[in-house]
Amino acid sequence: MLAQQGYTTYATMRNLSKQDALLKLAKEAGVKIKLKALDVQDSASVQNCVNEILAEAGGIDLLVNNAGAGFVRTTEQATEAEIQWVLDVNFMGVVRCTKAVIAHMREKRSGYIINVTSVGGLVGQPFNEFYCGAKFAVEGYTESLASYVQPKFGINFTCVEPGGITTEFANSVFSQLHSTGGMLEDEYKPILQQYIGAAQARRAAQGDAGVFQTAEQVAQVIVDCANNPQPPIRVRTSAWAENFCQLKTGLDPDGRKLQALVLKNVLGE
């Protein structure tokens, strides 16, 4: 969709052997995209990719941090290695990619970084404490950058906050759950069954359209932000997500009031 808007678009993935499906979709859409290998958990991989793009394109105007992984486990059940993995993919991946491009954007006094977070970055939810914790961290990281890098160096920042999306994300979460022992026989099991049952009931009552969005719908929000000369600090991507986060975002839906308040109280502006 960004390529259709005229952007020279680089898509990245850990394993380039999986690129054929993406290239086919781009061809069907009548656009060209460029593929690069990038692993958000590997600083050298991130920096090498960014260096290649800077050498080829001469600059980077927009970074979309979209890599993420869900995780369903309680604090008692999760191993430290699992916790580190969730935080590394969802938070440190954003930091590594941002760190790799931000000096270039600062030097030219322009740029835009969009971080795809989640309603789970605003509202903590059962069995998702580590995923939500990582997404909360991205929200705080983005807000902090927007409080001084944006006004001083002309770099915009936005958190895009989807609810459920009809991709392989949810399937990957439950595959990960099953691969690490499934539902454990403890006091949390009936609560987890209640959690899964409630999700299935919502889907049955409202249908996919009432709860879930397509990837294309979320991508359209990202494109709209990219084309906005004064983009929001944060934006939900559906009516369901907006309603779910209403108590957290109702007084300041786009985050600009809080940004102004921080500038006034902390930097005296």
Give the residue numbers marked as catalytic. 131
Burial letters 134-152, b for 16+ CB under 10 A, else e: bbbbbbebbbebbbebbee
For 229, the 3-state DSSP assignment is coil
C-alpha closest to that of 6 among 38, 36, 33: 33
The tokens for 61 are 């105007």
For 159, the 3-state DSSP assignment is strand
Q: What percentage of the chain's residues is helix, strand, coil (to nearest 5)?
A: 55, 10, 30
Neighbour count for residue 9 (Cβ, 10 Å): 17
Q: Fill in the amino acid letter for 229.
A: P
